[in-house]
Every structure is written in structure tokens, then in C-alpha cells.
Amino acid sequence: MSEGGDFDRGDLPSIYRAASESAQRGQDLLLRLTKWRLRFVVLAALAGVLYSVEALETLLQRSFAALSLALFLGALASEVLLLNERPDKAWYSGRALAESIKTLSWRFMVCAEPFPKIMPLVEAERSFRVALREILSLHPVRLVPEESPQITEKMEAVRASNLDCRMRFYMQHRIIAQQRWYSEGARVAERKSWRWKRCLIGLEVAGAGGALFVLMGFGFPDFGGVLAAVIAGCVAWVEVRQFDSLAEAYSLTAAELALIHDSGSAVETEEVWSRYVVSAEQGISREHTMWLARRSFH
């Protein structure tokens, strides 16, 4: 097997892919419902302000009042769906399950504990399947896995290769790939964090300016309540996405993976290699554990 052999999510167990897809569906639904809830509230506040404009005809005022009511009901419906469907639980549990399976799969592939190279293949495969069942029992997630083997041909091929090939494969497709992913994720989260901070500052300046115009006696409708609703919505969205926390956690994990990569050059035996992989996987899993703890707390 060559060092640069292709590797993608299709080479991991089908249960991993099912868990990953379940987490993605949960995240998509959570963000979509949260967006609509915030939009409904902001638009309802705007309709309420327009209803209070005395210069409008009575029929138009009543229309804005009815629109405000409908929008608040839409926000309520979104909230009920969030509480009933619990997409956040599907997201968090799905990701925890997927990452646990991925870690277990890499340990099996590269012959790290609890699947050392000296363990016969039949016994290693049996132990892998037992460990999968234990992980599934810890993370109850609704899954629809494909009808394919949990131990793929690529996993067997990597495990059958010699130590040098397994080391290069792991470094390239696990350590370096994860380091790049976290580095890029940190940069994206940082950019989005600054973008939203500038947006909030602009909205607050606009709110102060609007309030000043009202105090000076200009005949503009008081949109202060609408801007306050917009600002509150933006703050709620930033809280859901946690850009600052992600940027910090991803940067730390990327730096840790860089150190893990450098320390791999000292590996010469199967025993040392097994300890190295276990340590590396613990470093990668640490970010997932911290992420889940932050999300569960909020």
C-alpha cells in the first residue's frame, strides 16, 4: 500500500457515516428553525412599530397588527418545533457517536490498543465489533446505516501493511488532515466572529442615532424597539454558533496536532507506535469532548 493512497469517509464503517449524517441533519434543522424564529420576532417588532404610526389609515394599521400577531405565532411555532424535535440533541449525540467510531476505526486500522498488531485478525475484528456495540449503547442516536460491512476493505488493507506504511498513512490521512481541518476551521470562525462583532457595533450606533433623532423632535417612527430586537437576535445567533469559542478551541487543537506530528519521528517499534496513536487520538478527542460539554451546558 502506498503512502499517498486515497482515503475518504467511505472507507470508514457505515455506522460512522450514518451517525455523521444524523448529526448534520440535526445541525441543519437547529440552525434553520433558529433563523426563522429570530426572523419572525424581528419582523413582528417591525410590524408593531408600523401599526403605531398614527398617520396610517385605520385599515392599514389593523393589517400591521394582524401581521405582527401572525409573525409572533410563527416564532412560537418555531420554538415549539425546537422543543419537540430536539435537533440539538441529534446534532450533539450524532457527532459524539461519529467521532468515537472514527477514533476506534483508526486504532483498528493502524494496530493501536486495544487492537495491537500481535492480535490475530479474527480476534481484532471481533473486538472491534464488540467495541462498536458498546459505543452505540452509550450514544442513543436514530441511525439508518447502509447495508455494508463495518470493517471495510481499506481498513483491512491498512491493518495488514507494515509499520512504516501504517505510520505514513496515519500521519497523512489522520494527523495532517485533521490539523489542516482545524486550522481552516479556526480561521473561518475568527472571520465570522469579527464580522458579527462589526455588525453589532453598527446596529448599536444606528440605534443610538435613531434615539437621538426622536429626542430632537424629528417626526420619524421610533424604530428603537426593532433595532433592539435585531441586536438581540444577532446576539442569540452568535451564541448558538459560538464563533469565539470555536476559533479558540480549533486553534489549540491544530497547535497540539502539530506537536503530535513532530513527535512521531521518534517511533520505531510497534509498542511505541501503539502508545503514540493512543495519545494522538486522545488529543483529537479532547476537542470533541470540550465541544460537547460547552454545547450541553448552553
Give the range of the structural domain holding residue 52, as residue numbers without chain letter. 10-297
Q: Is residue 101 part of a domain?
A: yes
What are 142-200's pLDDT values in tens digits? 887 777 788 999 999 999 999 999 999 999 999 999 999 999 999 999 999 999 999 98
CA distance 32 to 164: 46
Q: Is residue 100 part of a domain?
A: yes
3-state DSSP percent of the chain in helix, strand and coil, to 5: 80, 0, 20
CA distance 177 to 169: 11
Q: Could you tell me the sign of the dihedral formed by the alpha carbons of 189, 286, 27, 31, in that order?
A: negative
What are 65-81's pLDDT values in tens digits? 888 889 889 989 999 99
Average pLDDT over residues 90-97: 89
What are 104-113's pLDDT values in tens digits? 999 999 999 9
Average pLDDT over residues 128-136: 93
Q: pTM higher than 0.85 for the full model?
A: no
Q: Is residue 3 part of a domain?
A: no
Q: CA 119 → CA 105, 267, 277, distances in Å?
A: 15, 20, 16
Q: Is residue 5 part of a domain?
A: no
Q: Is residue 73 part of a domain?
A: yes
3-class state of residue 112 by DSSP? coil
Q: How many folded domains does the chain comprise?
A: 1
Q: Is residue 1 part of a domain?
A: no
pLDDT for 4: 43
Long-range contacts (CB closer than 8 Å, 24 or more residues apart) made by 156-164: 156/121, 157/1, 158/1, 158/109, 158/110, 159/108, 159/109, 159/110, 159/111, 159/115, 159/121, 159/124, 160/121, 161/1, 163/117, 163/269, 163/270, 163/273
Q: Is residue 277 part of a domain?
A: yes
Q: Is residue 2 part of a domain?
A: no
pLDDT for 187: 95
Mean pLDDT score of the chain, rounded to an integer?
Answer: 86
